[in-house]
A and B are shown apart, each in its own frame.
Chain A
Amino acid sequence: DARVTQTPRHKVTEMGQEVTMRCQPILGHNTVFWYRQTMMQGLELLAYFRNRAPLDDSGMPKDRFSAEMPDATLATLKIQPSEPRDSAVYFCASGSRTDSPLHFGNGTRLTVT
């Protein structure tokens, strides 16, 4: 059963530290989306890729967040330096084409103290 894999599942870190979250999309999927979910804001789109090319990252704080796809099997989201307000669940999701539904990973629960 194909699924999106995210690591780590949980991350607790101190303010100012670098955080790297990884995502392995479903094999053959060509779109990858990063979302952040909080109780207040719901699912917020941070960045998305098609065929590994970044299409939009306007949802990310540019000074501290970066998203990349070094190859078709790996997407990364980095926060440097992390802040307590970054505490949230970060989801990666992939899709087989532009108009297809997304399949979500289990998320990374980030806590910044």
Chain B
Amino acid sequence: QKEVEQNSGPLSVPEGAIASLNCTYSDRGSQSFFWYRQYSGKSPELIMFIYSNGDKEDGRFTAQLNKASQYVSLLIRDSQPSDSATYLCAVILNRDDKIIFGKGTRLHILP
């Protein structure tokens, strides 16, 4: 089982709709979770971080964490063409503090 798993996509969402991105992780003791956005040819940039179960909202972005089910998700409301990018989920492993990334989900917002 991979430590951090994401659906590679592409995920196509109409402009103005909600995009939902999911991530699962294997280290049950992990406590810190991050979502990064990466445009083609650019470096990853942090969008959200979440440490507690439940929802965390920041503008159009909502991160959701469920430690019992070992998944973390990212919702993007009112999707814009500029949201088209690859979204990377990252987890700090409890056993050794490594920060491991999923392979990312490619999101395409359809104008």
Question: What is the interface of chain A, defined by CB distance below 8 A to chain B?
Answer: 33, 35, 41-43, 45, 48, 50, 55-56, 91, 95, 98-99, 101-107
Specify which chain A residues have a CB less than 8 angstroms from the CB of B78 in the assembled complex.
Answer: none
User: Which B32-47 residues have C-beta < 8 A from chain A?
Assistant: 32, 34, 42-46
A42→B4 CA distance, assembly (Å): 11
Could you show 11 A-B contacts with beta carbons less than 8 Å apart?
Answer: A43-B88, A50-B97, A55-B97, A91-B44, A99-B32, A101-B34, A102-B90, A103-B46, A104-B43, A104-B44, A107-B43
Specify which chain A residues have a CB less than 8 angstroms from the CB of B110 in the assembled complex.
Answer: none
Are B34 and A104 in contact, CB atoms less than 8 angstroms apart? no
* Segment among B15-23, B68-76, B101-109 that sits at the interface with chain A: B101-109
A42 to chain B, nearest CB (A): 4
Are A48 and B98 in contact, CB atoms less than 8 angstroms apart? yes
A56→B97 CA distance, assembly (Å): 10
Query: How extensive is the interface on chain B, given as a class?
Result: 20 to 34
A99→B44 CA distance, assembly (Å): 18
A104→B101 CA distance, assembly (Å): 13
Specify which chain B residues have a CB less than 8 angstroms from the CB of A98 in the assembled complex.
Answer: 92, 97
Are A99 and B104 in contact, CB atoms less than 8 angstroms apart? no
Specify which chain A residues have a CB less than 8 angstroms from the CB of B98 in the assembled complex.
Answer: 45, 48, 56
Specify which chain A residues have a CB less than 8 angstroms from the CB of B92 in the assembled complex.
Answer: 98-99
Q: Contacts A42-B104, A43-B88: A102 and B99 contacting too (C-beta < 8 A)?
A: yes
Q: Contacts A91-B43, A107-B43: A35 and B51 contacting too (C-beta < 8 A)?
A: no
Q: Contacts A43-B88, A99-B32: A56 and B46 contacting too (C-beta < 8 A)?
A: no
Q: Contacts A104-B43, A105-B43, A107-B43: A99 and B51 contacting too (C-beta < 8 A)?
A: yes
A15 to chain B, nearest CB (A): 25
Are B45 and A104 in contact, CB atoms less than 8 angstroms apart? yes
Are B31 and A42 in contact, CB atoms less than 8 angstroms apart? no
